[in-house]
Amino acid sequence: MIDVDIRGFSSGGSWYKGNLHSHTTNSDGILSPAEAVCAFKNAGYSFLCLSDHDIYTDYREEFNSEDFILLPGFEASAILYEDDSVSLRRKTHHMNAILGTEAMQRLAVRRRPFHKEELPVRRCFGQWDGSSVAADMARDLYERGFIVTYNHPVWSMVELEEFSSCPYLTALEIFNYNTVNECACGYDTRVWDSMLRKGSKIWGFASDDNHNQGLFDDAFGGWISVKALSLTHDNIINAIIAGNYYSSSGPEIFDWGVFGSEAYVSCSRVERINFIVGNHIGGGRTIISKSDDGISNGCCKLEGGESYVRAECVDKYGRTAWSNPIFLK
């Protein structure tokens, strides 16, 4: 029997909404950095990472204010091509490199890129050792003082073993609004649970991956809400590293955790609440509202053999808020 008291969020601080994955005219986006900042500020966001493909940018001096900050970074790429004609991409690794805390930057053993520096794309032809490529990428980024996320694995056509044992990953992109609407490849929670059940201690995050090309809606549809003491770079990054946030495409999570032998969650009104557990067949629980008013809280009895538990709060339109896992073993 399990008997613990673990809170999913810190008791102090405020909530800050942000997008960790976006593109501008510095790569293949339509909005300029200034236009992107304006759009996300007007939409109620507190922070944004301009993760342009293979080009590092740091616009903090130009755009940071008391109520909005940029997280410098870029999206690093490795591509497996069918052959050396580079006409067909078979697989890709995309990782966001987001500038770490001041302490991480001081401890970095490799040089941080300068503003608007282009980084080389790793290119392979015919075949690759995907796991080694991913590990080398992540290590390089970490040694430069970045936190590293792995992006949209379903869209990237990679197998779990090609990245799941990759060191230095902070979070996996579990919802990508762009690829949901582009080709229905933006839901990655099954990949996440596979990693968690194999013992990975990795957080999840939702994002836009917006390009704003007008082909379909790809902005303001996936985000994280971070609990931090104040809106500073180090506070936001430390909260992300600690998993002190939830991801969403709509609903809010106000509180969640494990008390005694029960997992609990309180949220905005939704149609159903799912508790997903690891390594316990038949464990977990789904609670479905019996009225149009919805539900705003739920709990799940834990048996004691679960390796982790996480919560999903799903509204009647399918929009979801995802907690990070609480690890029980």
pLDDT digits (tens, 9 = 90+) for 179-193: 999 999 999 999 999
pLDDT in tens, 79-101: 999 999 888 999 999 999 999 99
What is the sign of the dihedral through the CA atoms of 222, 169, 187 and 197? negative
Q: Which residue intervals of the chain bear CATH 3.20.20.140?
A: 13-249
How high is the pLDDT of residue 237? 98
Q: What is the pLDDT of residues 143-188, one digit of tens each?
A: 999 999 999 999 999 999 999 999 999 999 999 999 999 999 999 9
pLDDT in tens, 98-118: 999 999 999 999 999 999 999
**Predicted TM-score (pTM) of this structure:** 0.97
- Give CA–CA dist 28/178, Å, rounded: 13
Chain segment 53-74, per-residue pLDDT in tens: 999 999 999 999 999 999 999 9
User: Which homologous superfamily does the CATH classification assign to the domain defined by 13-249?
Assistant: Metal-dependent hydrolases (3.20.20.140)
Which of 3.40.50.970, 2.70.70.10, 2.60.40.10, 3.40.50.2300 is the CATH number of 250-329? 2.60.40.10
Report the alpha-carbon distance of residue 91 to residue 161 in Å, rounded: 13
DSSP per residue over 252-293, as a string?
-EEEEEEEETEEEEEEEEESEEEEEESS-TT--EEEE-SSTT
Report residue 9 as tokens.
């969020």
Beta strand pairing call for 89-99 and 73-81:
antiparallel
Q: How far is CA 164 from CA 170, 197, 220, in A?
A: 12, 11, 28
- Would you say 115 and 56 are in contact if contact means Cβ atoms under 8 Å apart? yes
* 3 close to 28: Cβ distance less than 8 angstroms: no
Asked if residues 164 and 171 have their Cβ atoms less than 8 Å apart, the reply is no
Q: Are 48 and 224 in contact (CB under 8 A)?
A: no
Q: Where in the chain is the domain with CATH 2.60.40.10?
A: 250-329
- Yes or no: say if 210 and 218 are a contact pair by the CB < 8 Å rule: yes
Neighbours of 233 (CB within 10 A): 18
